[in-house]
């Protein structure tokens, strides 16, 4: 079956041609940017809200209870009710806080995650921007979020917020190394940093399979480091409720707190989406050699479903990890990165480079 039936390139070109026929190129560009922005804002809100519900349901299953089940069928509208509750909360002004930086911090966190989502290829031809340095871009913009966290902690004029922000800064800077090296392993295999090219290089098999054991090791390291970089349990030292009341966002309320809350879940979605894109084939269907009838059936499933299905699978693993393992101490957290993950990652990179040099992998 020809996968081009699900190619969105012709649709996006049709929209561009239609807009150019009724307005100038400058206005066309502006309208297209507005359309993309509205779509991403809507998707951001829906995905973020229902990831909160999914986490509460997964947590309930692990703890042998039901979770939200009152507001709407199966509790589907619970997070919407929570959103309206947060929107109605009073925005409390903190005495002696740096008001400008205090108000700016949540927007920096949100903007960083928006910039990262823009480069994700949801299907063939369905991405806001397809950079030839896509991996480098994702790594760079996803690192900007820590600036918002540090500003939030420092500008709040609170010792608990400041300690949480310092912990988060040390944690994110440390685990960024393992995230980058894990992604570099797929760059070596595919020979490209462009996300669409990496996805297309997996048409005959996902890298986690055809990259053999080194690719699997890189995937596991990326999953651990990505979970730590998003400040999720068991690496949520920056928000340790028993020690810091709430961490770097202790002094925030209302919509500003909602921004931090939403950004955390969207960062988890971004980490899972990157993992599914570079290791699990992105929007590519699952194929088995010699099973042509099964492969044809797989080809009929739209690529958007493949992408979100794989992303949901990785998100479930991250939630499973959070609700299974106890929180680490800060010294254990840093020791895990510097003494174990980073050396293992470096050795794995050398091994992958040797495998690629010798041609011992499926191209």
What is the span of the domain harbouring residue 140? 92-358
Could you report the per-residue pLDDT of 285-306, keeping only the tens digit for each? 887 767 778 878 888 888 999 9
Question: Is the pLDDT score of 278 beyond 50?
Answer: yes
Structural domain includes residue 19? no
CA 75 to each of CA 54, 57, 80, 223, 319: distance values in angstroms, whole numbers, following the listed order:
10, 9, 10, 29, 19
Q: Is residue 280 part of a domain?
A: yes
Assigned domain for 110 exists: yes
Question: Average pLDDT, whole number, for the chain?
Answer: 88
Instruction: Evaluate if residue 2 carries a pLDDT over 50.
Output: no
Q: Is the pLDDT of residue 244 over 60?
A: no
Cα separation, 113 vs 1, whole angstroms:
36
Residue 305: its pLDDT value, please?
93
Residue-level pLDDT at 246: 67
Q: Give the pLDDT confidence of 7-43 residue by residue, as tens digits.
A: 788 888 888 889 988 888 889 999 999 999 999 889 8
Question: Domain for residue 30, yes or no?
Answer: no
For position 306, what pLDDT does the model report? 94
User: Is residue 248, in this structure, part of any structural domain at all?
Assistant: yes
Q: Where do the H-state alpha helices sit in 145-211?
A: 145-155, 159-190, 195-200, 207-210
pLDDT above 60: residue 1? no
225 pLDDT above the threshold of 90? yes
pLDDT tens digits for range 119-136: 999 988 888 888 899 899
User: What's the whole-number mean pLDDT along residues 342-349?
Assistant: 94
Instruction: Return the pLDDT at 279.
Output: 94
Residue 15 within a domain:
no
- The tally of domains found in the chain comes to 1
Q: Which of 234-243, 294-303, 310-319 has the lowest mean pLDDT?
A: 234-243
* More confident position, 294 or 176: 176
3-state secondary structure of 242: helix
In a domain, 78, yes or no: no
Q: Is residue 68 part of a domain?
A: no
Range 243-251 average pLDDT = 72
Find tokens 């030292």 and name the residue.
Answer: 237
* Cα→Cα distances 195→54, 207, 319, Å: 27, 13, 25
pLDDT single digits (tens) 317-337: 999 999 999 888 888 988 999
Give the residue from 33, 43, 195 showing the smallest Cα distance to 124.
195
Nearest to residue 217, comparing CAs of 229, 207, 205? 207
Is the pTM of the predicted complex or chain greater than 0.85? yes
């Amino acid at each position: 079956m020809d996968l081009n039936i699900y190619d969105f390139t012709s649709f996006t070109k049709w929209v561009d041609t239609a807009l150019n026929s009724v307005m100038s190129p400058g206005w066309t560009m502006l309208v297209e940017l507005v359309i993309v922005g509205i779509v991403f804002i809507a998707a951001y809100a829906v995905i973020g809200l229902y990831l909160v519900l999914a986490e509460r349901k997964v947590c309930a299953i692990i703890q042998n209870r039901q979770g939200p089940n009152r507001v709407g069928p199966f509790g589907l509208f619970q997070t919407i009710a929570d959103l309206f509750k947060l929107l109605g909360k009073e925005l409390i002004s903190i005495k002696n806080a740096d008001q400008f930086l205090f108000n700016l911090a949540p927007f920096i966190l949100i903007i960083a995650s928006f910039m990262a989502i823009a480069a994700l290829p949801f299907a063939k031809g369905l991405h806001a921007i397809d950079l030839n340095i896509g991996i480098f871009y994702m790594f760079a913009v996803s690192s900007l979020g820590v600036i918002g966290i540090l500003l939030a902690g420092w500008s709040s004029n609170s010792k608990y917020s400041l300690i949480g922000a310092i912990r988060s800064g040390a944690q994110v800077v440390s685990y960024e190394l393992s995230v980058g090296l894990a992604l570099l392993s797929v760059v070596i295999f595919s020979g490209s940093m462009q996300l669409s090219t990496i996805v297309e290089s997996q048409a005959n098999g996902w890298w986690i399979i055809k990259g053999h054991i080194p690719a699997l090791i890189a995937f596991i390291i990326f999953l651990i480091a990505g979970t730590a970089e998003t400040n999720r349990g068991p690496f949520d030292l920056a928000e340790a409720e028993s020690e810091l009341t709430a961490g770097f966002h202790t002094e925030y309320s209302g919509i500003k707190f909602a921004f931090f809350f939403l950004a955390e879940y969207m960062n988890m979605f971004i980490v899972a989406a990157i993992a599914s894109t570079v290791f699990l084939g992105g929007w590519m269907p699952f194929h088995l050699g010699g099973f042509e009838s099964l492969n044809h059936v797989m080809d009929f499933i739209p690529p958007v479903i493949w992408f979100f299905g794989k992303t949901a699978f990785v998100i479930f693993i991250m939630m499973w990890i959070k609700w299974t393992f106890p929180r680490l101490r800060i010294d254990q957290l840093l020791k895990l990165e510097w003494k174990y993950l980073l050396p293992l990652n470096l050795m794995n990179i050398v091994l992958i480079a040797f495998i690629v040099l010798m041609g011992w992998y499926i191209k």
